[in-house]
Amino acid sequence: MTTETFNRSLVDPAKPVLGEGVSEGRVDGGLDGSQKSSLMAARSRVSFLMAGFVALNAVFAGKLLYLGSEKGFQAPKPIAPIVAEAGPIVAEKKFSRKDILDRNGEILATSLEVQSLGVNRSKVKDPDLLAEQVVAIIPEMDLARLRQKLSRKAGFIRLHQKLTPKQAYAINALGNPALRLDSREERIYPQGRLGAHVLGFVNVDGDGLAGIEHFMNERLSNGKVDDESSVKLSIDMNVQHALTNELSEAKNAFRALGAAGLIMDVSTGEMLALASLPDYDPNVGSKATGEERRNRATKSLYELGSTMKTFTFAAAFEDGLISMNDRFDATKPIRVDGFTINDDHPKARVLSVPEVFIYSSNIGTSKIADLIGSDKQKAFLDKLGLLDRASLELTEVSRPLLPQRWSDATRATVSYGHGISLSPLHLVGSISAMINGGVLHQPTLLKTSEFVAGKRVISRETSEKMRQLMRLTVKTGTGKNANAKGYRVAGKTGTARKVIKGQYSRKHTVSSFVAAFPIDDPKYVVFVLLDEPKGYLNSGGMAAAPVVQHVVRRIAPILNVAPMKEDVSPYQRLSYLIEKEGK
């Protein structure tokens, strides 16, 4: 069908078209004059419509070509953000302080988001109204004081440090542009007081003020997320709980001024527990008193009494100055440089070397120190780190208090733990070398992943002798109350008088006990100290030794130390020592 035929069919579909009985020789199909006029008009209208369609298509095509060109392209205008009605400013939050974990991954310190409230007083239009609105949301705030604060013309001030989510929502709903909500970190210590002197605490800005939080502040707050996103301590919180609990009961029972305890792995130097009493809650650390914050385990200095005899005997054995068969006269007190030396539990007879140690004879020990000499005594203590600042990942560590002059009297008194003041940390680090085979390891609060070689300070033979003497002390001597059946505890008592107003006081004492177990394959050192225990039975053997027994019984299962059958009798052990020494 041609275009003309199509046009005609649009005018009158009923009319015949070419090929439908119309003669091909006459285009008009034999129409009369009026019909021809109508046909011509229809053709004109159709032609006009067709021309319009063509023109419109041309315009569209041209527009598309223009928009496709670089000149014609225009980036869409950004949609203006929907601006909410003016209200409190919410500061950008930034959380970065790392968690602190115990050796088993238990969280000891972490950070949570909290909202604080501040106000720009230059934007406050109605102080009274705003004060009433804020107090209605935060009832603990004082209305009169808040009105006074808001009425001043100074700039920004903080109104409240910690809002509940409900309070923050209500403050935001006030829509007051003078108010400002800040997201900040709140340091949380889920264990409460447990391990407070290890962890420390932070200030309102999140900076560490004590403990690990202070010592490792930069590492904890550096905000980098990496493989070391948390700090893992050597502390075992189950062991920490057992030590703290037993210390607390003893402190209360003896009405002591304070208490301290440490438990260390003798092969690595890792500290499994460290406690100081009284303690505090690090969640509100800023409210702790100076006495509560005082770390008696690492910072406080004490004359530690007969526990120091361990070093005197080790030094003498190491230089071959004494043997197990040697005897020392302890029948009566002796005087050195005008100073009288007595025994607290006098036997008033000649004592063998093991007996001097087992019965804790000051007289016999001072005579052994006389064989060593002042210079060698001082050098030996220095080799053990006892004359220098203690080392641990805390700033709360101390230097020992040393005598100004190392006289003969100093040598004698230092040999049994007077005249020199040390921290419990000093003692524990050095004692471990006496019983672990002779190797000194640096104490640490961080979990170690690799073996760290220590420094040999005495021979294996000397270390074995010290282990046997310490075991005899627990089996038959002053340390009987520390004997935890099945765990072969070895140890040494310590009872020292405190200096009060320049004089040694009989009423003010420091009682301690240092132990190791199991002694035939020593793994752990346990130290307990009671500061000024009250009552008649306040010696190291009566007050501190029982605490060690209870602690060992509680922590041995935690540390997978299985109970064993009782070892040989004390006399067999002593005979073994003498026989081996004779060879």
Q: What is the pLDDT of residues 275-325, one digit of tens each?
A: 999 999 999 999 999 999 999 999 999 999 999 999 999 999 999 999 999
pLDDT exceeds 80 at position 46: no
Higher pLDDT, 27 or 566: 566
Buried b (16+ CB within 10 A) or exposed e, 199-236: bbbbeeebebbbbbbbbbbeebbeeeeeeeebbbbbbb
Please say if 306 is a catalytic residue.
Answer: yes
Q: How far is CA 137 from the centre of its chain?
A: 36
Q: In this structure, are residues 220 and 100 in contact, taking their beta carbons and an 8 Å threshold?
A: yes
Domains of the chain, by residue range, sit at 89-232, 241-582
Q: H or E stretch including 184? A: strand 179-188
8 A C-beta contact, residue 255 and residue 424: no
* More confident of the two residues 365 and 42: 365
**Cα gap 86→419, rounded to integer Å:** 71
Find all residues with CB under 8 Å of 530, minimum gap 6, and list them: 250, 251, 254, 256, 258, 259, 510, 511, 512, 538, 543, 544, 547
Q: 9 falls in which pLDDT band (50, 70, 90)? A: very low
**CA dist., res. 187 & res. 113, Å (int):** 9
pLDDT, mean of residues 315-343: 95
Q: CB-based burial of residue 267 (10 Å sphere; 0-12 exposed, 13-18 middle, 19+ buried)?
A: middle
31-40: average pLDDT = 47
Confidence at residue 67, expressed as pLDDT on a 0 to 100 scale: 40
Provide, rounded to the nearest whole percent, the portion of the chain with pLDDT above 90.
68
Instruction: Report the chain's mean pLDDT, rounded to a whole number.
Output: 85
pTM of the entire predicted model: 0.78
- Res. 514: pLDDT tops 80: yes
- Neighbour tally for 408: CB within 10 Å: 15
The residue behind tokens 């070419």 is 18
Q: Which of 199, 191, 229 is nearest to 445 (CA)?
A: 199
User: In terms of pLDDT, which residue wins out, 277 or 80?
Assistant: 277
pLDDT score of 152: 82
Residues 440 and 429: beta-carbon distance below 8 Å: yes
Residue 22 has pLDDT above 80, yes or no: no
511 has a pLDDT exceeding 70: yes
How far is 509 from 54, CA to CA, in rounded Å? 114
**89-232 against 241-582: fold identical:** no
Residue 77: count of CB within 10 angstroms of its CB: 6
Residue 7 has pLDDT above 50, yes or no: no
Amino acid at 245: N
Per-residue pLDDT at 204: 84
Statement: 241-582 belongs to CATH 3.60.150.10: no
- Tell me the per-residue pLDDT of 537-583, one tens digit each, with 9 for 90 and over: 999 999 999 999 999 999 999 999 999 887 667 667 777 677 777 65
**Which class for 572: exposed (0-12), middle (13-18), buried (19 or more C-beta within 10 A)?**
exposed
Least confident of 1-10, 76-85, 182-191, 400-409: 76-85
- d(CA 396, CA 47) in angstroms, rounded, equals 103
Catalytic residue among 116, 276, 306, 423: 306
The residues, any chain, with a CB within 8 Å of residue 46's CB and separated by 6 or more, are 7, 10
The pLDDT value given to residue 273: 99
DSSP H helical segments within 12-126, as ranges? 33-68
Closest CA to 392 of 441, 439, 431: 441
pLDDT at 42: 45
Which one has a higher pLDDT value, 50 or 16?
50
- Read off the pLDDT of each residue in 238-264 and give the average, rounded to a whole number: 98
Give the tokens for residue 386: 């006892």
CB atoms within 10 A of CB 563: 14
pLDDT of residue 472 exceeding 50, the answer is yes
Q: How distant, in Å, are the alpha carbons of 20, 255, 401, 464, 496 from that of 506?
A: 142, 17, 21, 35, 9
Distances (CA, A) of 411 to 244, 301, 420, 447, 509: 35, 19, 10, 38, 21
Sequence-distant (≥ 6) Cβ neighbours of residue 124 within 8 angstroms: 130, 150, 178
For 89-232, which CATH class?
alpha beta
Which residues are 127's β-sheet partners? none
Tell me how long the chain is. 583
Separation of alpha carbons 357 and 466, rounded Å: 10
Q: What are the pLDDT digits (tens) for 126-158?
A: 999 999 999 999 999 999 999 988 988 778 988
| Confidence class for position 94, pLDDT limits 50, 70, 90 | low
- As given in the structure block, the two tokens for residue 410 are 């100093």
Is residue 278 reached through a cis peptide bond, with omega within 30 degrees of 0 on the bond before it?
Answer: yes
Instruction: Let me know: does 497 contact 504? Beta carbons within 8 Å.
Output: yes
